[in-house]
Amino acid sequence: MIAIGSDHGGMSLKVAVIECLKSKGIKYKDFGAFTTESVDYPDYGQAVAEAVVSGECQSGIVICGTGLGISIAANKVKGIRAAVCTDPFMAKMARQHNNANILALGERVVGVGLAMEILEAWLNSDFESEGRHGSRVDKIKEIEKKYFK
Ligand code: RB5
């Protein structure tokens, strides 16, 4: 199950992402927003992040105007590695090297066509847990242990 959420600035792209997930038969849970009324992106970044760290969802997708605010908010939840991706290569690397558990997209940055290619790369990539990438992500977790009280 994929957790998905956006603010008003990411609503249209969220609809397109959901359509893509549906067409692939991938289960998702939509944490809002559900209207185009102006809302605060941290609320939706937090909701998706909490669904991922609780284990309710295996990964997440967050979308705002730039992908920045909502990813910064999600990254404040311990255990989250949210990565803003603006091309498919970044999405592939975010999964393979950084074991990112949330993909962040910016509706005002990427068009729907590019966003679908980014999503495809994200869905088709896995973490390379053996060797240097595993130990580097472990170091990220050590930083969390030090600063997340
Ligand atoms: C909302 O106008 C906009 O600030 C938001 O979607 C996002 O881009 C923030 O990082």
Q: Using the mean position of ligand 1's atoms as its centre, give its distance from the Cα of residue 17 in Å.
A: 18
pLDDT at 130: 85
pLDDT digits (tens, 9 = 90+) for 73-102: 999 999 999 999 999 999 999 999 999 999
Q: Whose CA is nearest to atom 3 of ligand 1?
A: 65
Q: What angle do CA 79, 84, 133 make, to 5 degrees?
A: 55
Q: Using the mean position of ligand 1's atoms as its centre, give its distance from the Cα of residue 65 in Å.
A: 5
Determine the residue of 66, 68, 75, 76 to mutate for testing ligand 1's pocket, defined as the one with the most ligand atoms within 8 A of the Cβ atom.
66
What parts of the chain have a pLDDT lower than 70?
Answer: none
- Domain positions in the chain are 2-147
pTM of this structure: 0.97
Looking at the domain 2-147, which fold is it? Ribose 5-phosphate Isomerase B; Chain: A, (3.40.1400)
pLDDT at 131: 84
Q: 55: Cβ–Cβ under 8 A, 6 or more apart, which residues? A: none
pLDDT at 9: 97
Contact 52, 100 (CB under 8 A): no
Rounded distance, CA 136 to CA 102, Å?
A: 18
Q: Is the CB of 5 under 6 A from ligand 1?
A: no
